[in-house]
Structure 1
Amino acid sequence: MATLEACIKNNNISRKRKQRIFEFNSFAKSIGDHSGPFRDNIRSFLDEFGEQNEERINEYNVWSTLLLCESNGAVFPLYTVEEHVNEDSVQPFCCHCKYVGWGHHFVCKRRYRFMIPSYGDKQPLKDYDRMNNLELDDSFVLHGLIHCNGFGHLICINKLDLGSSNSLTETDVMNFWDSICNSLKTRKVSVADVKLERSMEMRLIHGVAFKNSWFGNWGYKFGNGSFGVTEEKYRGAVQFLSELTIDKIIDDSKSNRDRKKLQRMICKYQDLSETQLNSMSDLLQCLLEYKKTIEIERQMLSPSRKVSKHEHPAFDEESQNPTCLEQLLASLMDADCRWPQRRVEYSLQVIVKLLKQKNDAMSRHELRESAREFVGDTGLIDFVLKSVNVLRFEGYIIRRVVNSLTKLVEFEIREATYDSMNMKPVSSLWKLEPRWPKQRLEKTAKVIANILKEHKSLTTERNGAMSRKDLRNMASKYVGDTGLIDFVLKSIDNLVIGNQIVSRTKNPLTRLMEFKIRDQNSEELSHEGEGDVYGDILFLYRNVLLSYPWWHSVSQECRVVLNSKYFVKEWEFGARNDELMTLTCRVLPSFDELDTELTRPLPPGDVVMVAPWMTIGGLKDVAQGGARYAWESRVECVCGARDDDGERMVACDECHVWKHTRCSGIEDEEAAPGVFVCGDCDGKSKSELLSQ
């Protein structure tokens, strides 16, 4: 097990205790198998594996656990935040519980968030999901929430991009999360499968291919559906769609202009497949497997780099736009530098030479002492080191970073693999001081990038360029605010969005502004030969699954799958202790409540472990120590929904019952009315008028 010694430099150097580093893939073995309930196991976990941070987040305690990626030596943190819930909390009720059908649970007094931030995030816990935001979040590699009663939610999961071909995949991160839940004796965990890939709802693709969600690989099953969708309807829908035969699909596309393209695609993958492709499930499984193979090949072809265990996360927004030598020297001379330009330039050459010889990160003190042998003037060296932030010099990028563990300034060097001077990160939009928040700007930029990727995969033109008008019209379907879209399109100029670069050019023939997208690390696979498997999956998604008329059975079953977002995994509670009693404490209703007020299931019991000689009074205190009160709301919609399923709803101003806006005749693009009366109350009012 590796160890790391951290030092804090004040007037005197004081040593902190060594913080251990745990291997990512074997972390579950380090945790072991706890025997108590989650509310007790989490305490033991934090005491043994967490290092409590001195700084608190919103008055909450934060622990960090350092994890090591064995493949490239990168170290990154797992943060655990302990939130206390009371009457003064901004959001005491958990919306994730409500949407998955657990709205009848009692509110727990404590809940814990497990978060792995994106590699390179300087403020990883600044905007974490404390407000129960249900939108898809890619700012964290892992974000999970578990209440002290053992019920939890997987809020988001993404791959851990470590800047090399050895990045951790979503499957790796999911295995890690599952092992934590299993070791800490979690009871149930929900997840909202809302992943988009090129605007494709992947739960439909994966559901048709494998008759289950992607999370089903870890035991997650149907939990709750929107618009009255039940587990029986979901199972029937995925069964029907997966057994849809290829012959029927081709026959149904007789009047479709894309029929020939569909036939060519099926023949192409039939030749590539070792088995006969008879159904829609067979075809999609073949494409997904082929897509996975291409991703592995791309990863193997991309440049790999060994990451230092002490390295601060990879390129931040400034490192994407380095300063050249001429710009740096001009700015230094304008700042009344007391050294001549040739001496400053010579000092920079010495620093670059020392970094190239070391071929690793060097601390400021180490670099300063080494440069003294060649320069002599420590004042000049300090001035130059202080001025270097991200510098482009003779085909190299030199940057100053802060070691995430020792908190010391370091300098590192790498070869400039592409013309990064012209590249700007998506966060650079915020520097223009717009009137929109940063999150909306970044989300709009991603929507534009996804539209351009779709267009490029479907168009026959080589560069895949898209006119500004067409791009704006398509983006307005997802964003709505055309002013925001215009601002982002106007600001795009070699904008780096994820691993893609969006550029703006003027068509020499039409004189119109066009936008195109290209891969940042490697060239896109050619459309010739094997073809673009991403475009083929998108073609099946849009031109087959979603192309049937709304009244067709295929269209209806697709809608059922798309309305099934929430999946749940349940663990068998195996807490055992020979010296303690394991009890499940439940609150039972009175006979009057059973006759009049009880309209929803009873909350689940709270599992506690107590001494055999515990008194009734002591047992009551333990049972009441974890929960407070339950969510109270009433949902009755014509579609059959009896709980808030996360879809847009409106409350009747007469009976105060919540109903879906879509089921009430209010379009998704239409604003909810200021005064709303449901059909039942409106019918009663009309009946009373007629009877008078």
Structure 2
Amino acid sequence: MSSYLDGGGGCRKRRRGGERIFKFKSFGENGCPVEFDGSFRNNVKALVEYGNLEMNLCNDGVLCWTFQLEVHRHPPLNVLLFVVEEPVRASSINLHCKHCRYVGWGNHMICNKKYHFLLPSKDTVASCFNCDETNSYESNPEKGKLNLVELKGHIMHGVFHSNGFGHLLCVNGMEMGSDQLAGYQITEFWDRLCTGLQARKVSLCDTSRKRGMELRLLYGVAYGHPWFGRWGYKFGRGCYGVNKPIYQKAIEAIQGIPLCLLNHHLSISNNEVSVIFSRYQALSDHSIVTLGDLLHFMLKLRSRLPEENITSSCNPTTVETNCRWSPKRVEAATRVIVEALKNREFRWVSRQEVRDAARAYIGDTGLLDFVLKSLGNHIVGNYLVRRCLNPVTKVLEYCLEDISTVFPNSEALIMNNSKAKPRNKITKVQLMKDIGYLYKHILNDQKPTMSTGVLSAIPMATRIILDTKFLLKEYTEEQLPIRGNSFKLFCTVTLRNNEGIDEGSKKPMLPYECVSFNENTTFDELRQEVEKCFREVYWRLRSFVVEAVANMSVKGSDLVVGSVEMGQKLVFIGSNDDQIGSEDSSGTGIVDCLCGAKEDDGERLISCDICEVWQHTSHALANADADALLNNIEKWVVIMMNLQRFYLGILHIFTCPVVRNNVKVL
């Protein structure tokens, strides 16, 4: 069997005859391998019971389990999932989590344990098990741990704190060297794990790239959300003071830029942009008006386009398999309609007028209606047949556009001409090349022409989108089912201070934890269970003692069932001897940058020697006022929309006879 486990001589010896193999595509779903019906920490404990405990891969106190996952059977391909349980006492160097601090969870208390979920690369697994077989870990006990947790280049590395908050640290698909799994397969696998384990919130730092393009920028313009947005990840936190309203306005500004304006400003110095615009307008069955529409269409086309096959970039009258007209009759009707439009001297003509002119040669009105419906925004010969709705008369109109100058290398597409078929086709390679060209010359262009006039919004909005790296997905905590005689409550705690503040004003300091009990449980027993739960989850609550239940007056001997509703949220007030420590207690100091940032966002900071306040070292937008920036982007959005309407209105006034004849010339 081709897998990680039989890739090398030392690895082959570790195969166990009774080792269970799980399906990669279903691992993490409920029932595979276990029913996930408890809290996060209980679900993890239940999961690792099905794994193989590896005794010699980690340091003392650090446990590791492996799961063999079958990606596909023909050809055979397996991968290994490592689950590493890392107690906080084993993390003396990295006691505080920098990922929590960057994403804005710095106020969270330090948890007792971290759980690392890793899909290592093939070479990492081979070297790790070879190290185990040769007993070299005895001379260097830290080597196993470094190979598993601290090494870079894993196919996937995610980490959870024991309270259910986690971070996806890396996804390396085929673009980054993985020869087994694509990026979307890895992300789907991670999402199943988070859902099954009932994680609370998961963050990630989106630095994904493909062929040199930042995907959070490309997909943000095309879809309005980053690539990870397919799995529900949304804006979590921006760098350099970027907030969610500014981020949304930046996306809207670039998405709404009309192609006609881009073509007007860029075609003088870059004719290839016009060629690309016309090429994909011909492929689309509807008008592509804005840059967001164009990139959305191109990425959707890429997802439908086979790797090796090719698709026609001109198919104006695609004959369906159940079409009652022959291709020859469809082609004849197409040429008649094009000739009728040519006789109108490239003016906009109403659909009825075109239809009446074509009826002198084609008597079948059904055929004419079919061809008129199929012809819109497609290329026939050296002409692009445009179709749009007149904004004044609300009537469909057609117009020819001569594209022989747009395709200087005789790239005009001729319908049903076998000699021209090689030029009628577009491959996925060409499609990605065109996407990369638009990305480079529009979204990533730093030339002076992009920093003045109507296009100055592009570099500014692009910088804002690129500064939004931290994404967040919240996995909703649903009401857990009652199983047999077991009931569940969601409980959290808060600490009583020395001044004895009224219990009703106390706010929870920690996320809610799921606590199970039976129908005969008293409040004293529930209190003990809550103490045990929070002592187990949080490092600084080892001496936590519950004293009362907030907003409730109950006796310790009272039964819980009947006093509270199942699934209710309760707050317990208590005291603790240890000093509370949070994830941001790392000596970063006060962050107060001119860009508006008040917390460490992972970007480079420098401290003032006098006031000891931290600020960003340098950035293009670091000195910009957030409110002024937001207003500036909103202004550009309005300008783009108004210019688009103005352009279309002027076009119809001077080309449409119905409108033009009703305009008084002074």
Q: Given the two structures, how large is their TM-score scaled by the length of structure 2? A: 0.57
1:662 matched residue in structure 2: 618
Matches within 5 A, 1:264-303: 264-292=275-303, 296-297=307-308
Q: Give 1:91 shift.
A: 0.4
Distance 1:243 1:15, change over 3 A: closer
- 1:104/1:602 contact within 8 Å kept: no
* Aligned with 2:442 (options 525, 529, 544): 544
1:648 counterpart residue number: 604
Which residue is equivalent to 1:100?
103
Are residues 1:223 and 2:223 paired?
A: no
Q: Is the 8 A contact 1:208 1:241 kept in 2?
A: yes
> Residue 82 in 1 paired to residue 85 in 2?
yes
Which residue number in structure 2 is paired with residue 619 of structure 1?
Answer: 530
C-alpha change, 1:245 and 1:105, in structure 2 (3 Å) is same
Counterparts of 1:174 and 1:271, CA distance in 2: 34
1:184 equivalent in structure 2: 197
Q: Kindly tell me: are residues 617 and 195 of structure 1, through their superposed partners in 2, closer, same or farther at Cα, counting changes over 3 Å?
A: same
- Matches of 2:4 and 2:123, distance apart in 1: 20
Partner Cα distance (2:205, 2:482) in 1? 35
Instruction: Please state how far the C-alpha of 1:553 moved relative to its aligned partner.
Output: 1.8
> Over residues 287-307 of structure 1, what are the superposed CA-to-partner deviations in whole Å (9 max), with x where a residue is unaligned?
3234445673389xxxxxxxx
Query: Which residue of structure 2 lines up, in the alignment, with residue 585 of structure 1?
Result: 492
Alignment-derived partner of residue 406 in structure 1: none
Task: Look up the equivalent residue of 1:234 and give its one-letter code.
Answer: Y
SS at structure 2 position matched to 1:640: coil
In structure 2, how many angstroms separate the alpha carbons of the residues matched to 1:593 and 1:197? 57
Cα separation, 1, equivalents of 2:178 and 2:471: 32
Per-residue CA shift, 1:626-650, capped at 9, x if unaligned? Answer: 2232023432212111221111112
> How far 1:208 moved relative to its partner?
0.1
Q: Equivalent residue of 2:300, what SS?
A: helix
SS at match of 2:168: strand
Change (3 A) 1:183 1:93: same
Residues 39-84 of structure 1: CA deviation (Å, up to 9, x unaligned)? 1110000012x11112132332110000012252212211111111
Q: In the alignment, residue 609 of structure 1 is paired with which amino acid?
A: V
Q: For residue 31 of structure 1, give the secondary structure of its aligned residue in structure 2.
A: coil
1:5-55 per-residue CA deviation (whole Å, 9 max, x = no partner) reads 99xx99xx999561100111122341355221111110000012x111121
Give 2:250's aligned residue.
Answer: 237
Matches of 1:639 and 1:534 in 2, distance apart?
36
Letter in 1 for 2:266: S
Cα displacement (A) at 1:588: 5.1
- Cα distance in 1 for partners of 2:97, 2:44 equals 20
1:246 corresponds to which of 235, 256, 259: 259
Which of 134, 159, 170 lines up with 1:156 in the alignment?
Answer: 170
- Equivalents in 2 of 1:14, 1:648: separation in Å? 45
Q: Is the 8 A contact 1:188 1:571 kept in 2?
A: yes
Counterpart Cα distance in 2 of 1:266 and 1:272: 10
Instruction: Name which of 206, 211, 215 aligns with 2:219.
Output: 206
Contact 2:59 2:145 in 1 (8 A): no
Shift of 1:609: 1.2
Paired AA for residue 193 in structure 2: I
Q: 2:45 is matched with which residue: 43, 46, 66?
A: 43
Percentage of identical aligned residues: 29
Structure 1 residues 535 and 603: alpha-carbon distance in aligned structure 2, compared to 1, 3 A threshold: farther
1:123 counterpart = 2:139 = no
CA distance in 2, matches of 1:87, 1:588: 27
The residue aligned with 2:18 is 18
* 8 Å Cα contact 1:36/1:577 also seen in 2: no
Shift of 1:159: 2.8
Size of the alignment, in residue pairs? 422
C-alpha distance in structure 2 between counterparts of 1:564 and 1:229, whole Å: 7
Deviation at 1:285, TM superposition (A): 2.0
- Residues 1:194 and 1:527: Cα distance change in structure 2 (over 3 Å): farther
The 5-angstrom pairing of residues 245-644 of structure 1 reads 245-253=258-266, 257-258=269-270, 260-292=271-303, 296-297=307-308, 532-547=430-445, 548-549=450-451, 552-574=456-478, 575-577=480-482, 579-587=486-494, 590=497, 604-611=510-517, 612-613=521-522, 614=525, 616=527, 619-627=530-538, 628=540, 629-630=581-582, 631-632=584-585, 633-644=589-600
Query: Over residues 481-525 of structure 1, what are the superposed CA-to-partner deviations in whole Å (9 max), with x where a residue is unaligned?
Result: xxxxxxxxxxxxxxxxxxxxxxxxxxxxxxxxxxxxxxxxxxxx9
Counterpart CA distance in 1 for 2:621 and 2:475 is 41
**1:33–1:270: structure 2 CA closer, same or farther, 3 Å change rule?**
farther
SS for the counterpart of 2:20 is strand
Q: Which amino acid aligns with 2:46?
A: S
Residue matched to 1:515: none
**Contact in 1 for aligned 2:492/2:513 (Cα 8 Å):** yes
Tell me whether 1:143 sits opposite 2:157 in the alignment. Answer: yes
Q: Counterpart in 2 of 1:67?
A: 69
Please give the per-residue CA displacement for 1:269-324, whole angstroms capped at 9, x wherever unaligned: 2223333221112211233234445673389xxxxxxxxxxxxxxxxxxxxxxxxx
Q: 2:273 & 2:183 partners in 1: Cα distance?
A: 31
Cα separation, 2, equivalents of 1:568 and 1:20: 34
Distance 1:666 1:580 in 2: 53
CA contact 2:171–2:183 (8 Å) conserved in 1:
yes
Task: Determine if contact 2:237/2:469 at 8 Å carries over to the other structure.
Answer: yes
Name the residue aligned to 2:567. Answer: none
What SS is found at the alignment partner of 1:278?
coil
Distance between the aligned counterparts of 1:94 and 1:32, measured in 2? 30
Instruction: State the TM-score, normalized to the length of structure 1.
Output: 0.55
The partner residue of 1:113 within 103, 116, 130 is 116
Q: Which runs of 5+ in 1 are unaligned?
A: 300-524, 595-600, 668-692
Q: Aligned with 2:465: secondary structure?
A: helix
Alignment root-mean-square deviation, CA: 3.9
SS at match of 2:158: strand
Report how far residue 666 of structure 1 moved.
10
Contact 2:240 2:622 (8 Å CA) reproduced? no
| Distance in 2 of aligned mates of 1:526 and 1:119 | 42
Distance change >3 Å, CA 295–CA 593, structure 1 → 2: farther
Relative distance call for 1:604 and 1:179 in structure 2 (3 A) is same
Greater CA radius of gyration, 1 or 2? Answer: 2
Distance 2:289 2:146 in 1: 48
CA 1:25/1:559 → structure 2, altered by over 3 Å: closer, same or farther? same
Name the CA distance, whole Å, in 2 between partners of 1:28 and 1:51.
17
- 8 Å contact from structure 2 (residues 54, 66) kept in 1: yes
Cα deviation, residue 178, structure 1: 0.8
Task: Summarize the Cα distance change of 1:31–1:15 in structure 2 as closer, same or farther, 3 Å threshold.
Answer: closer
- Match for 1:34: what amino acid? F
Q: Deviations over 1:602-627 (max 9, x none)?
A: 85424141434325455334323322
1:565-596 deviations in whole A, cap 9, x for unaligned? 111111111234462442332435849899xx
d(CA) in 2 for partners of 1:622 and 1:198?
Answer: 47
Matched letter for residue 282 of structure 1: D
1:155 shift after superposition: 1.1
